[in-house]
Amino acid sequence: MRETPNWATPAAHITRHTPDTALLYFAPTALQATARRFQAGFDGLVTYAVKANPGEEVLANLVAAGIRAFDVASPREMYAVRAVCADAVLHYNNPVRSPEEVAVARALGVASYSVDCLRELDKLAGVPRGTEMSVRLALPVKGAAYDFGEKFGVDPARAAELLREVAARGFTPSITFHPGTQCADPQAWGAYVAAAADVARAAGVRIARLNVGGGFASHREGDAPDLEAIFAHIRDEVARCFGPETPALVCEPGRAMVADAFTLATRVKALREGGAVFLNDGVYGGLTEARDIGAPGRIRVIGPDGTMRRGADVPRVVFGPTCDSIDRLPDPLPLPGDMAEGDYVLFHGMGAYSRSLTTRFNGYGVGDPVTVAALE
Ligand SMILES: *Cc1c(COP(=O)(O)O)cnc(C)c1O
């Protein structure tokens, strides 16, 4: 394994170095344990959605844990994956591509493409016959933090037409969907699985694989979803809906794979009368997502000497460090009444869509990850 933990815990590093920039602490053992849990429980191929966190240390540890296939959206993500795993299988599941991007994908031997309209299928005319083309299906689904169906995917009727066209052109026909980021409700997969079976039937096409997307997470609320229950529901629904034509399964978690392997450590720059707090990171850094889907839920505060602040929580307005008035969390956060300037506010479960979205606006941003043996 490439990453040797240098520190036992974030607190051990903080008490020694009192870092004054926001940092992510990374526990490779936590990441590998999640990857193994997916591979042991999910009844098909487990791939990783690179956009959630494309860090080299993340990709390398997933490879070490046995992940060999990756959902990529751009040439840069393809190169990042191949740099840590020369024979990695690439699934190019961004259904909108420029001709130049298609050329890179062909040169790198992408194994699977998603498509959601005929025009995009036309752009893939030069891809070798037999390559998998996975039709991206969209349903209106409630229960996820974002509705991915708003941007990509086709309705069932047009999905059936496209699937027929994929087969007629000599590609391997498959279906893919994404129930929505942070989706943790097994029923969301059930509805999609049933719709996918109807699409295949309507098209008169037997699909090779069904890609059930990402989701699998509800980390902001702090209660981890029951992954095994979701896996079992998917398996049962696929068997029930497809019967003897049951396709092989693929999943592509991003957030659920990587979120719990990282803790974001921010520092209190100022405490104001009335309780407002200024941190050294905010919505232009590791807390970007807070604006769209709410603030993270699992928080603890420690002093520079590692002491846990245990005072009763009070609701505090939280500002980021930049000189921009929108750099504040949308709602007050419950934080200890006895916290002080110079303390550290640790946000757990911050491995996804944090570092990959951080900017350097106003000279702030999140530093390179520090490797730890355990996050608590
Ligand atoms: C973003 C994305 C994922 C991962 O989504 P999570 O909600 O992070 O699991 C999976 N598949 C596709 C096609 C995506 O765009």
Render each residue's pLDDT in the chain as its tens digit; 376 residues.
455 678 999 999 999 999 999 999 999 999 999 999 999 999 999 999 999 999 999 999 999 999 999 999 999 999 999 999 999 999 999 999 999 999 999 999 999 999 999 999 999 999 999 999 999 999 875 554 445 556 789 999 999 999 999 999 999 999 999 987 777 788 889 999 999 999 999 999 999 999 999 999 875 555 678 899 999 999 999 999 999 999 999 999 999 999 999 999 999 999 999 999 999 999 999 999 988 888 888 999 999 999 999 999 999 999 999 999 999 999 999 999 999 999 999 999 999 999 889 999 999 999 899 999 999 8
Determine whether the shortest distance from the Cβ of 54 to ligand 1 is under 6 A.
no
Determine whether the shortest distance from the Cβ of 153 to ligand 1 is under 6 A.
no
| Structure token pair of residue 33 | 């344990």
Determine whether the shortest distance from the Cβ of 255 to ligand 1 is under 6 A.
yes
10 contacts 68 by C-beta, under 8 angstroms = no
DSSP-H helix ranges across 206-311: 227-242, 255-258, 290-293
Beta bridge partners of residue 335, listed in sequence order = 314
pTM of the model: 0.94
Which is nearest to 194 in space by CA: 177, 216, 173, 214? 177
Determine the residue of 34, 46, 62, 71 to mutate for testing ligand 1's pocket, defined as the one with the most ligand atoms within 8 A of the Cβ atom.
Answer: 71
Determine whether the shortest distance from the Cβ of 52 to ligand 1 is under 6 A.
yes
Kindly report the number of other CB atoms within 10 A of residue 51's CB atom.
Answer: 19
Residues in the chain: 376
Q: Are strands 370-371 and 313-316 parallel, antiparallel or unpaired?
A: unpaired
Atom of ligand 1 lying closest to residue 252 CA: 10
Ligand 1 centre from 90 Cα, in Å?
14
DSSP-H helix ranges across the chain: 10-17, 28-41, 56-64, 75-84, 99-107, 118-123, 156-168, 186-203, 227-242, 255-258, 290-293
Which is nearest to 166 in space by CA: 210, 125, 109? 125
Which CATH class name applies to 10-24+259-371? Answer: mainly beta
Ligand 1 centre from 314 Cα, in Å?
35
DSSP label at residue 373: S
Q: Which CATH superfamily is domain 28-258 in?
A: Alanine racemase (3.20.20.10)
| Structure token pair of residue 90 | 């690439």
| Structure token pair of residue 104 | 């890179």
Atom of ligand 1 lying closest to residue 180 CA: 7
Start-to-end CA span in the chain (Å)? 21
CATH 3.20.20.10 residue ranges of the chain are: 28-258
CATH 2.40.37.10 residue ranges of the chain are: 10-24+259-371
Which is nearest to 252 in space by CA: 51, 106, 100, 1? 51
